[in-house]
Amino acid sequence: MKFNTNNHRGSVTSHRKASVFSLLTFLLLLCAGCGDDEAVQPVPENTQPEGYKELIEAYQAGKVFASAQHTSGNCVLTFTDGYVLSIAEKAFKIADCTTSAPATVTTNGASWCVGGTQYSIKVDTSLTDEEALPVYAYFDSTTLYLYLSNKNVLRFWSVVLEEQYQSEAELARKQNIPVIRLTTEGPIVDKKNYVNGTITVQDPEKHYSEVTEFSSEMGIRGRGNSTWSWPKKPWKVKLSSKAEILGMPADKEWALLANYSDRTLMRNIVAMKLSEMCGFSWTPRIRSVHVYLNDEYQGVYTICEHKKVSASRVNIEVIDEADNTGEALTGGYYLEIESDQDADVCWWTSMAVPLMFGEPETPTNAQINYVKNLINDFETALCSETFADSETGYAAYIDLKSFIDFYIVQELTKNVDGNVRKSAFLTKERGKKLEMYHLWDFDLTMGNCGYFDSRVGNGPEGFWVKDYNSSSVYGDGWYWRLFQDPAFVAQVKQRWNELKPQFETIPTFIETQAQILDAAQKKNFEVWSIHESVDWVKFPSRGSYKAEVDYLKSFYTKRLDWLDKELSKL
């Protein structure tokens, strides 16, 4: 896959070219959705349409795209140097995707399929760009794209891309992340008892809002499961009244994640970026901050929205204690999959999935029975001979898109806890199906965990979530059975191809985060040595922050490529 930046931009743009547009292994590309099928018109086989040669020359000359407009049967392309190229629509059409999604572009054997239509254009990777044929072209609010029959995708550099780059570069240059100062009336000793105190959030450079300083009374306690036992402690903060923090919607409850085991300090941030790309019903907002406790520096933390039911977070209407019959009994519920089983009401399902009630915290007997029976009915349908039936099988119980997106992110990040065992959250709203509502807890992902089953290993290869219980060895769960339905597999592959172009931008996102954190990480590792590690995590330090970030990028890129190839084989 090729992308263009202007050579005359010098070292900054050359770096951008290498980091932003390093998507060089185009095997299968699927753009989300398809607007108007009439916007997709194939060109005759082995015939280069009029205007194609000039468009390729403009790309190779590094011309910067400015605008496009359909007029009088032509698409008029304008570039910043004043060059204008008019492409006749009868030659080949350049779709206007400024208000709608581009068409789906896939390979089907040796030929192409665009917008659900099979083309006679052959796939031939031996051709140069000058020799190839245009498969599909479109422009959006960002730039102009051209898909070629040799599997190259040309993306013109544009004024908008330049502005985006400058904005990211300016953010990276600031590097002075916000500071949170905690003052308590006593030590924070456990995860149950709040200690009174005050919190001050300082953001003098206005990274996230116009508020440069905010203070409030608070209560603070420990949080987390295994992370609470580590030297760098995570905390939960409860403000005296609802308030916005660093541009995040107002609430009382906030989490301060220590990221002690993650020496990049960003795996949770990367995971939430993936969540945004998938469009989960809620993506927890998250910010990197310095934290001081009673004037003693604690290191770089991430402050994020605590997982809870509220209008700006898990936005569901929790069932009332009087709702014990009929339709009212069907929701809403907020459930957690967690093997630690530390809630008031918790149980293991017949397929060994550990569930707990989050909300309501103290459900009635009728509500407990309803939820348990619902899960049991779902698992019974899932294990039945007619499990693939769309009306009587598993699909009658679950929101497929959320279950598929959950699978994709857990598998892509190779989350050791992502096999329906820990830190997963379901909702059951009234009149709706079970939904994987949001993601949580990704510090031991993307190569940062050494205690996988030896047959899977910690490397970027190997299915983990899909094959969990595939041979009654790894355990139980739901996905091994879901993947026995060809229709489910097809939907996973389709969704993967929709998301992959966005997933390919994550290495650049990692680079930007590393720039933002560069000064902060140095201060953090003066307190917590880069060489420290958690014994049972079984993943040694790589010796420097740069090495840790490089490893994260490398693992992610290799995992993305491996998963892309292996999913296509299913």
Q: Describe the strand order of the beta sheet including 94-96 as a list of residue ranges.
A: 94-96, 134-139, 144-148, 153-155
- Which tokens belong to 123? 């796939």
- pLDDT at residue number 171: 53
The verdict on 416 and 555 lying in the same domain is no
Residue 190 lies in a domain: yes
**Burial code of 189-220, b = ≥16 C-beta within 10 A, e = fewer?**
eeeeeebebebebbbeeebbeeeeebebebbb
DSSP states along 263-323: TTS-HHHHHHHHHHHHT-S----EEEEEEEETTEEEEEEEEEEPS-BSTTSB---PPPTT-
Residue 316 lies in a domain: no
The verdict on 144 and 191 lying in the same domain is no
Pairing mode, if any, of strands 134-139 and 144-148?
antiparallel
The verdict on 340 and 278 lying in the same domain is no
- Are 355 and 337 in contact by the 8 Å Cβ rule? The answer is yes
Q: How far is CA 157 from CA 5, 8, 17, 60, 502, in A?
A: 5, 12, 10, 11, 17
- Which tokens belong to 138? 């479109």
The residue type found at 309 is V
The verdict on 549 and 564 lying in the same domain is yes
Residue 399 lies in a domain: yes
Range of the domain at 274: 176-305
Shortest CA distance to 180 belongs to which of 306, 307, 298? 298
- Are 235 and 189 in contact by the 8 Å Cβ rule? The answer is no
Q: Which residues of the chain have pLDDT under 50?
A: 1-44, 471-474
Residue 277 lies in a domain: yes
505 class by beta-carbon count within 10 Å (0-12 exposed, 13-18 middle, 19+ buried):
middle
Q: Kindly give, in sequence order, each residue whose CB lies less than 8 Å from that of residue 80, ignoring residues fewer than 6 positions away.
A: 63, 64, 65, 66, 159
The verdict on 390 and 452 lying in the same domain is yes
Q: Kindly give, in sequence order, each residue whose CB lies less than 8 Å from that of residue 190, ignoring residues fewer than 6 positions away.
A: 221, 222
Final residue of a structural domain among 305, 338, 373: 305
The verdict on 464 and 342 lying in the same domain is yes
If you search the block for the tokens 């993967």, which residue do you land on? 496
d(CA 428, CA 371): 9
DSSP 8: G
Residue 65 lies in a domain: yes
394 class by beta-carbon count within 10 Å (0-12 exposed, 13-18 middle, 19+ buried):
buried
Shortest CA distance to 115 belongs to which of 95, 141, 144, 142? 95
Q: How many domains does the chain have?
A: 4
d(CA 58, CA 3): 13
Shortest CA distance to 465 belongs to which of 457, 473, 474? 474
**Chain-centroid distance, C-alpha 50:** 41
The pLDDT tens digits of the residues spanning 82-119 come to 999 999 988 888 999 998 888 888 877 678 888 878 88
**H-run or E-run covering 555:** helix 545-569
Instruction: With both helix axes pointing from N to C terminus, report the angle between 545-569 and 486-503 in degrees, rounded to the nearest 10.
Output: 140
**Chain-centroid distance, C-alpha 59:** 31
The verdict on 281 and 347 lying in the same domain is no
- pLDDT at residue number 39: 42
Residues in the chain: 570
Residue 314 lies in a domain: no
**Burial code of 270-302, b = ≥16 C-beta within 10 A, e = fewer?**
bbbbbbebbebbbbbbbbbbbbbbeeeebbbbb
Residue 35 lies in a domain: yes
- Are 90 and 73 in contact by the 8 Å Cβ rule? The answer is yes
Name the 3-class secondary structure at 569. Answer: helix
The verdict on 473 and 444 lying in the same domain is yes
List alpha helices for 21-93, DSSP H: 52-60
- pLDDT at residue number 27: 31
List alpha helices for 124-190, DSSP H: 159-174
The verdict on 133 and 192 lying in the same domain is no
The verdict on 490 and 511 lying in the same domain is no
DSSP 7: G
The verdict on 191 and 144 lying in the same domain is no
Q: pTM of the full predicted structure? A: 0.71
- pLDDT at residue number 175: 60
3-state secondary structure 32-43: CCCCCHHHCCCC
Final residue of a structural domain among 461, 476, 503: 503
- pLDDT at residue number 92: 84
DSSP 103: P
The verdict on 405 and 339 lying in the same domain is yes
CA atoms within 13 A on the CB side of 204: 4
Residue 180 lies in a domain: yes
Q: Kindly give, in sequence order, each residue whose CB lies less than 8 Å from that of residue 326, ignoring residues fewer than 6 positions away.
A: none
- Which tokens belong to 481? 């059975």
Final residue of a structural domain among 139, 170, 201: 170
The residue type found at 243 is A
Question: Hey, CA dihedral for 354, 360, 364, 366, is it positive or negative?
Answer: negative
